[in-house]
Chains A and B, each alone.
Chain A
Amino acid sequence: MNLTLKIWRQKSASDKGKMVDYKVTDISEHMSFLEMMDVLNEQLIAEGHEPVAFDHDCREGICGMCSMYINGEAHGPDRGVTTCQLHMRMFKDGDTITIEPFRATAFPVIKDLVVDRTAFDRIQHAGGYVSVNTSGNTQDANAIPISKHAADEAMDAATCIGCGACVATCKNSSAMLFVGAKVSQYALLPQGQVEAADRVQNMVAQMDLEGFGNCTNTGACEIECPKGISLENIARMNRELMKASIK
């Protein structure tokens, strides 16, 4: 198939940036979206232009590095996939595809489609862990039984890949699905209880400091999340913070 691509080009963080049109031809429907971008880049290199910079790594939907806003949706029109797993069969011959970086004040553009998501790391630094040393002398793994239900729910929250699609999608650029998932994972497990109050307060404070917006419960994040992280996690974070503040 032949396609027209409208791609955000921005030389560096300080550059203003603009949309530029490109044409690609002979795209196979079996290609992944990023393989289509590879074709474009090979073409640009051959023509003596600079290729489009974009983040990607594992290309199997788990590392969370890829991050494009395709035709107005984070990771494009398919559900439950990251951009690297989006396939060209989702598009038709002659389509125009608009490709933009994830947009949020807390995710500044570094170059073209590459954005800086270290705000997520800093939120994790604020409390996304259980304070336990690797002494090798921790108690036996089976010492505290954990109900299957809690373990499974914690796992569902923990599957978040930190890609930032929730922020990119949210009309308010809110990071609450991301933070909620992390808070939930530890809130559901006994290991996380000791420092639960400090954790949620510190992580929320850091989230606010980073300049993410507020949650207005549109539910868009849950739908666009490639791992289907549930809104339940945001509700749980709200409860955890209320609980922590009353103490």
Chain B
Amino acid sequence: MALDSKVPKGPLKDKWTTYKDHINLVNPANKRHIDIIVVGTGLAGGSAAATLAELGYNVKAFCYQDSPRRAHSIAAQGGINAAKNYQGDGDSTYRLFYDTVKGGDYRSREANVYRLAEVSANIIDQCVAQGVPFARDYGGLLDNRSFGGVLVSRTFYAKGQTGQQLLLGAYSAMNRQIARGKIQMYNRHEMLDVVKIDGKARGIIARDLITGKIERHSAHAVVIASGGYGNVYFLSTNAMGSNATAAWKIHKKGAFFANPCYTQIHPTCIPRSGDYQSKLTLMSESLRNDGRIWVPKNMDDVLAIREGRKKPTDLSEDERDYYLERRYPAFGNLVPRDVASRAAKERCDAGYGVNATGEAVYLDFASAIERYGKEQAKIHNIDNPSKEKITELGEAIVEAKYGNLFQMYEKIVDENPYKTPMMIYPATHYTMGGVWVDYNLMTTVDGLYCIGEANFSDHGANRLGASALMQGLADGYFVLPYTIGDYLSNDIRTGKIPTDTKEFDEAEKDVTDRINFFVNNNGTKSVDHFHKRLGKVMWDKVGMSRNEQGLKEAMAEIKAIREEFWKDVKVPGNANEMNPELEKAGRVADFLELGELFAKDALHRNESCGGHFREESVELEGEQKGEAKRKDDEFAYVAAWEYKGEPADAVLHKEELEFKDIELKQRSYK
């Protein structure tokens, strides 16, 4: 089967407009005879459900949480990009498009990214109209900040809770439709399979997480908006419940899975403190604007710090290794996420990690505090300020900029980051890979759509800050509602899809059998036991840097863990009640398959691009020696995997990427 991206013909900047002008529409009277299922209620799913219901379709929305408002989009801190050019600093649709493609290391589809940049401005208008309280300046107009990897200020924000506010905006739009009866909301429900009839997605099997009841839901189209698969690492910045089950189930039913190896490891997270750790907390990237990252130069000092004999503040400047400034003099502490993460890992692997686990580096604000303090002293005409006065003035500025983050750090770590450097370490944050979709956001299964982080489409091999929120809302508010109409225009005479057919019978039986297996399997080890083991293999061998041998070992080890899991997993409780362990078991079973495909994809992609770093593919000489080396002649394609039983047997399909409007360049931060 050849992959058809269905990108419309014509010049890049006219594609979306021309497309919209020529698609088939469904008339309002017919829309009310059409049902759509949306799985997941984050920015993508929530906005899609609300918009489709506004248009007149009957929407059934599903989320595993107790309310749509709790989807993990809520945790995004920094902001949302939009090419509004309110600051007059030269921003444009083209520039946002260009930055996104370049930031993604030239592994995304041009037409999708351009469309994303094109609708970005509308997102801000829409959200403001909904009452999202974006930050404003004293003139009452919207404020912007700038984010890593770009040269303009185009990021809109609502304090450090932009994701929350945007999600609550989408949730409010959903509420309006729920009140109108156009959305039927299924909270605490988990989709456990998709039902295909005559090759088309026609419904899902879901479990009511309160009663354990297995339910059949039919529809004319199914939209998956279930987020990323970062929890395959066990430890990540994802929510505890974030899972890949919906995406993986549709993969098993024929949807290709694209570029699973593209994962973003965020450099500034709070380090792990022990084996009991359940999740990692992200600290906004903005901290790197003022913090300097270092580890001790001498191993003696490392040991002394670990044993508590020395404090980081005891070390003189000469005894510190500001390794980012040393290796990347041009960008210093502001290198992109993937570069900063790998550099931290390199130092810690070499034994210079500064906490008990050996996996932490310092993020130091002392210089910033001193610099701001001196500046303030000048502004306030204080001659010969004392060291204490400078510190006091400087800390006030740092507090104004990062107060809430410092407070969060102190709550978790119980150390005062104004007085002693913060400890940070990279953590899995976002997955660029996901279900393959065409320009219409439809998967390789007819009538089955995938939007938001769950699909692979817009970020290539690396995502820029503040672009995830943009993509989720673009897909849900402005793209899917058009593209799905084109497909559904053929379904106006279909009528209600019955759920008493053999396809539903079979799908339900598979789901029930699996659940019964879990609760009846008298194993000896908990679900988390297996999840942690999977996570360790993924982190050690399929983490920030990967090599052939490690990836091969990872595939074998994951397979072994999976086999052991199916023999020895222990799930207490029953199927017909609320059973969190049973929920986890199903999710981990899917991660155990996805992890292997992930490693396989990483193994096949013998190049370094974005979040995927192969130790075999580095620049061997010149200024860039040791840095990631992309191989555009061999790997400028999307790797879409077709399910064939075992993950190791997945078949590769390639969607060649063409760059007509952008010249491919090496990223350099030296």
A interface residues with partner B (beta carbon < 8 Å)? 11-12, 28, 30-32, 34-35, 38-39, 42, 44-46, 48-51, 53, 55-65, 78, 80-81, 85, 87, 89, 110-111, 114, 116-118, 120-121, 124-126, 128-134, 136, 138-142, 145-148, 151-152, 154-155, 158-159, 161-162, 185-186, 189, 191-192
Contact = CB atoms under 8 A, between A and B. Distances in A.
A136 B134 CA distance: 18
Nearest to A114: B578
A138 B133 contact: no
Contacts of B579: 53
A59 B239 contact: yes
- Which 10 A-B residue pairs are closest in the complex by CB-CB distance? A145-B140, A129-B172, A155-B133, A138-B129, A141-B128, A154-B133, A57-B239, A151-B136, A125-B179, A63-B70
A207 to B, nearest CB: 15
Most buried by A among B124, B128, B133, B481: B133
B572 interface: yes
Interface stretch (B271-279, B301-309, B375-383): B271-279
A34 B187 CA distance: 23
Given A57-B70, A63-B75, A148-B136, A141 B84 contact: yes
Contact of B130 (A38, A58, A124, A132): A132
A192 B132 CA distance: 11
A51 B581 contact: yes
A186 to B, nearest CB: 6
A111 B579 CA distance: 9
B299 interface: no
A118 B129 contact: no
Nearest to B278: A35
Contact of A58 (B68, B119, B142, B239): B239
B276 A31 contact: yes
A12 B71 CA distance: 25
B393 to A, nearest CB: 24
Given A51-B581, A63-B75, A124-B172, A85 B412 contact: yes
A162 B67 contact: yes
Given A148-B136, A155-B158, A155-B165, A35 B276 contact: yes
Contacts of B528: 38, 42
A130 B72 contact: no
A42 to B, nearest CB: 6
Interface of B: 47, 50-51, 54, 65-72, 74-75, 84, 86, 119, 122, 124-131, 133-142, 158-159, 161, 164-165, 168, 171-173, 175-176, 178-179, 185, 187, 210, 237, 239-241, 273-274, 276-279, 281-282, 408, 411-414, 477-478, 481, 526, 528, 570, 572-573, 577-581
B475 to A, nearest CB: 12
Contacts of B134: 141, 151
A151 B133 contact: yes
Given A45-B570, A151-B136, A158-B168, A129 B411 contact: no
B133 A158 contact: yes
B136 A146 contact: yes
Contact of B164 (A49, A57, A151, A159): A159
Contact of A155 (B70, B159, B187, B277): B159
Contact of A158 (B129, B139, B165, B273): B165
A80 B412 CA distance: 12
Contact of B72 (A57, A141, A142, A159): A57
A42 B526 contact: yes
Given A59-B240, A87-B414, A151-B135, A121 B175 contact: yes
A63 B239 contact: yes
Given A45-B581, A151-B135, 16 more contacts: A28-B276, A32-B412, A51-B581, A53-B580, A61-B408, A85-B411, A110-B210, A117-B67, A130-B131, A132-B129, A134-B54, A138-B128, A147-B136, A158-B168, A159-B161, A185-B133
Nearest to B70: A63
Most buried by A among B70, B72, B481: B70
B414 A89 contact: yes
Contacts of A31: 274, 276
Nearest to A190: B131
B572 A130 contact: no
Contacts of A51: 572, 580-581
Contacts of A35: 276-278
Nearest to A47: B572
A63 B65 contact: yes
Contacts of A64: 69-70
Contacts of A110: 210, 578
A22 to B, nearest CB: 15
A25 to B, nearest CB: 13
A191 B128 contact: yes
Contacts of B128: 138, 141, 191
Contacts of A49: 572
B276 A38 contact: yes
B140 A147 contact: yes
B96 to A, nearest CB: 16
Contact of A34 (B84, B86, B130, B278): B278
Contacts of A34: 278
Contacts of B129: 130, 132, 138-139, 141, 191
A161 B596 CA distance: 37
A118 B72 contact: no
A138 B126 CA distance: 6
B581 to A, nearest CB: 6
A53 B577 CA distance: 11
29 contacts: A12-B577, A28-B273, A28-B274, A31-B274, A45-B526, A53-B580, A57-B240, A57-B241, A58-B239, A62-B74, A63-B75, A85-B408, A87-B414, A117-B67, A121-B178, A124-B172, A129-B176, A130-B172, A131-B176, A138-B126, A141-B84, A141-B127, A141-B142, A145-B140, A147-B140, A151-B136, A152-B136, A155-B135, A191-B131
A35 B279 CA distance: 9
A82 to B, nearest CB: 11
Given A141-B128, A147-B140, A50 B573 contact: yes
Contacts of B133: 151-152, 154-155, 158, 185, 189
Contact of A63 (B74, B86, B282, B580): B74
B70 A65 contact: yes
Nearest to B579: A53
Contacts of B127: 141
Nearest to B156: A141
Contacts of B414: 30, 87, 89
Contact of A141 (B70, B125, B171, B408): B125
A229 to B, nearest CB: 13
Contacts of B159: 155, 159
A59 B279 contact: yes
A45 B276 contact: no
Nearest to A192: B131
A60 B51 CA distance: 30
Contact of A140 (B68, B125, B175, B276): B125
Contacts of A42: 526, 528
B176 A145 contact: no
Nearest to B477: A134
Contacts of A133: 54
Given A56-B240, A151-B136, A139 B570 contact: no
Contacts of B237: 60
Contacts of A50: 572-573
Contacts of A81: 411
Most buried by A among B68, B128, B210, B579: B128
Nearest to B51: A134
B139 A145 contact: yes
Most buried by B among A45, A49, A56, A118: A45
B543 to A, nearest CB: 21
